[in-house]
């Protein structure tokens, strides 16, 4: 495990680029710039997984992309959290808490939108499976979320 993990962070959900839901069918909750800027320096860009909570709601599994999203050529580093739960409405301006537990893969560029979507679906599958492991499952009930 990487020395900077687990990483706990909290912030208000802000509007992102609007691509997650519309282009990818994979909605994300985005952290504001000040949260992104406070990531540990040694935390490399890429895809991670852990648990998340909106306000005082239930704690769900999540996958998070941290970085520049080369496919979209972002100019600002972002933290985009895909919560593994279907929400009925947006939750901009609400409090998002996450614990980042492990690393899936480095940031990559893709030849097509379909390749990007297939890889994200694979990342989600890895997170789903790994978050059931004994070393991670206890974090779902961590005092951070109470």
Q: What is the pLDDT of residue 24?
A: 76
* Position 50 in a domain: yes
* Position 58 in a domain: yes
Q: What is the mean pLDDT of residues 11-38?
A: 83
Q: Name the pTM for this structure.
A: 0.92
Give the whole-angstrom CA distance, residue 52 versus residue 32: 16
Q: What band does 116 get if pLDDT is binned at 50, 70 and 90?
A: confident
Q: What is the pLDDT of residue 11?
A: 97
User: Over the chain, what is the mean pLDDT?
Assistant: 90
* Position 141 in a domain: no
The number of domains in the chain is 1
Which structural domain, as residue segments, surrounds residue 64? 7-136
Q: What band does 21 get if pLDDT is binned at 50, 70 and 90?
A: low
Eight-class DSSP state of 89: S
Ranges 43-57, 74-88, 90-104, 121-135: which has the least confidence:
74-88
Cα 111 to the center of its chain, rounded Å: 22
- 45-84, pLDDT tens digit by residue? 999 999 999 999 999 999 999 998 766 666 788 999 999 9
Q: What band does 104 get if pLDDT is binned at 50, 70 and 90?
A: very high
Beta strands in the chain (DSSP E): 7-12, 29-30, 46-54, 59-67, 78-83, 95-106
* Position 45 in a domain: yes
> How far from 117 is each of 21, 71, 142, CA to CA, in Å?
12, 11, 31
Q: Which residues are catalytic?
A: 80
Q: What is the mean pLDDT of residues 3-27?
A: 83
Among candidate residues 60, 3, 9, 64, the one with its CA nearest the CA of residue 37? 9
Give the chain's radius of gyration (CA, Å).
14
Give the whole-angstrom CA distance, residue 11 versus residue 54: 10
Q: What is the CATH number of the domain that holds 81?
A: 2.40.30.30
């Amino acid at each position: 495990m990487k020395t900077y993990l687990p990483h706990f962070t909290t912030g208000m959900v802000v509007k992102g680029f609007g691509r997650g839901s519309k282009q990818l069918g994979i909605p994300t909750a985005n952290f504001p710039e000040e949260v992104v800027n406070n990531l540990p320096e040694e935390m490399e860009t890429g895809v991670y997984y852990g648990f998340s909570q909106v306000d005082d709601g239930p704690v769900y599994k999540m996958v998070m992309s941290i970085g520049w999203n080369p496919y979209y050529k972002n100019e600002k580093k972002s933290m985009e959290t895909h919560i593994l739960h279907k929400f009925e409405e947006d939750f901009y301006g609400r409090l998002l808490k996450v614990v980042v537990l492990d690393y899936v893969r480095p940031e990559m560029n893709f030849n097509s939108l379909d390749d990007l979507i297939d890889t994200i679906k694979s990342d989600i599958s890895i997170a789903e499976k790994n978050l059931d492991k004994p070393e991670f499952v206890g974090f779902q009930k961590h005092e951070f979320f109470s």
